[in-house]
Amino acid sequence: MVNEYRLHIVLAIEMLLCGIWWTYKAITKSQQKLDYSLDIILCGLSFISCGINLGYLLYAR
């Protein structure tokens, strides 16, 4: 059971970092007036996945 908690913690941290990265990419592309809609979608999916993993950890306890 401990390994499952560790997995969800690692996934949550990874998705949080991915969300921050895609947000950064979208901001830099918007300043250069490039198309950044895919970056916004990936940013949202990363933050949603992070929330799902954190929610699972809170619910499982």
| Integer angstrom CA distances of residue 54 from 1, 9, 17, 25, 43 | 16, 7, 14, 24, 17
Token pair for residue 54?
């954190």
Q: CA-CA distance, 43 to 61, in Å (whole number)?
A: 28
Parse the chain into domains and list their residue ranges.
Answer: 2-60
1-22 tens-digit pLDDT:
568 888 888 889 999 999 999 9
Q: Is the pTM of this model over 0.75?
A: yes
11-58 tens-digit pLDDT:
899 999 999 999 999 999 988 888 888 989 999 999 999 999 898 888
